[in-house]
């Protein structure tokens, strides 16, 4: 039977943290990475995707796909934040500090705000997200099943998002058809992996 390292009734330590630390996870580093990714999903991505979507005037098809990505990134934020607290971490109390910790650059509205320029920003934002969530999957695989599961769900959707924006940018900029396999979600933001009616709580 595993040794009980946390005394009965002790609320200053967490067995869920002790176990993954014993398996080799640098919990402090993991928390820092998760906070950076949460900041990217919410402060950098969701906020700026809202602005970018508003400026895709005349491209209702692009706006709809951008809306799916925007709302799914909000779902990613909601999925991962509880895990930060479960690990004993927390979010910064200052939104500016939180924003500045983001693991991906803010996708500011380009000048000029053409559809091709906006789609380029969206594509590169998704690529940064893929790299960031892949790093967390690599760090937690076989050691921290809960964080790995949450990160893998998010990564699945980020990979889909990249494919969507490759398809749109290739057509808008180069008139090349590179299908992504995009399909309409049940409702906007009904993320198939990170959160939907069947899988609401993380």
pLDDT in tens, 54-70: 999 999 999 999 988 99
pLDDT at 189: 64
In a 13 Å sphere around the CA of 182, the CA atoms on its Cβ side amount to 20
How far is the C-alpha of 83 from the C-alpha of 99, rounded, in Å?
19
pLDDT in tens, 12-70: 788 899 999 999 999 999 999 999 999 999 987 888 899 999 999 999 999 999 988 99
pLDDT at 202: 44
Report domain extents, the chain: 25-174
| Distance between start and end Cα atoms, the chain | 29
% of the chain with per-residue pLDDT over 70: 90
- Report, as an integer, the average pLDDT of 99-127: 94
Given a cut of 50, is residue 156 above it in pLDDT?
Answer: yes
10 Å Cβ neighbour count for 133?
27
pLDDT at 3: 56
- Report, as an integer, the average pLDDT of 108-112: 94
Instruction: Share the mean pLDDT of the chain.
Output: 89
Given a cut of 60, is residue 80 above it in pLDDT?
Answer: yes
Given a cut of 70, is residue 146 above it in pLDDT?
Answer: yes
- Which one is the CATH code of 25-174: 1.20.1260.10, 3.40.50.1950, 3.60.20.10, 1.10.150.120? 1.20.1260.10
User: In the chain, how long is the greatest CA-to-CA distance?
Assistant: 65
| Candidate from 43-52, 130-139, 143-152, 165-174 with smallest mean pLDDT | 43-52
How far is the C-alpha of 181 from the C-alpha of 79, rounded, in Å?
25
C-alpha distances (whole Å) from 122 to each of 71, 111, 162 are: 14, 14, 8
Given a cut of 60, is residue 199 above it in pLDDT?
Answer: no
Question: Using 50, 70 and 90 to split pLDDT, how confident is the model at 4?
Answer: low
pLDDT at 194: 72
Given a cut of 80, is residue 191 above it in pLDDT?
Answer: no
CB-based contacts of 7-14 (< 8 A; 24+ apart in sequence): 14/86, 14/87, 14/88
Given a cut of 90, is residue 150 above it in pLDDT?
Answer: yes
Given a cut of 90, is residue 118 above it in pLDDT?
Answer: yes
- Could you tell me if 37 and 84 are in contact, meaning their C-beta atoms sit under 8 angstroms apart? no
Given a cut of 80, is residue 123 above it in pLDDT?
Answer: yes
10 Å Cβ neighbour count for 129?
27
């Amino acid at each position: 039977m595993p040794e009980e390292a946390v005394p009965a009734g002790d609320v200053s330590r967490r067995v869920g943290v002790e176990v993954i630390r014993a398996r080799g996870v640098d919990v402090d580093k993991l928390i820092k990475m998760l906070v950076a990714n949460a900041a990217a999903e919410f402060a950098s991505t969701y906020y700026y995707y809202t602005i970018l979507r508003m400026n895709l005037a005349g491209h209702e098809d692009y706006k709809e796909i951008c809306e799916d990505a925007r709302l799914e990134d909000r779902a990613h934020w909601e999925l991962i934040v509880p895990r930060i607290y479960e690990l004993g971490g927390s979010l910064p109390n200052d939104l500016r500090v939180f924003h500045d910790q983001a693991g991906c650059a803010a996708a500011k509205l380009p000048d000029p705000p053409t559809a091709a320029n906006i789609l380029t920003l969206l594509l590169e934002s998704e690529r940064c997200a893929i790299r960031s969530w892949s790093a967390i999957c690599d760090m937690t695989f076989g050691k921290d099943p809960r964080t790995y599961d949450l990160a893998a769900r998010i990564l699945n959707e980020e990979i889909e998002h990249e494919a969507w924006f490759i398809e749109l940018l290739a057509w808008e900029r180069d008139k090349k058809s590179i299908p992504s396999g995009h399909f309409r979600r049940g409702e906007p933001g009904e993320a198939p992996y990170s959160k939907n009616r069947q899988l609401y709580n993380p």
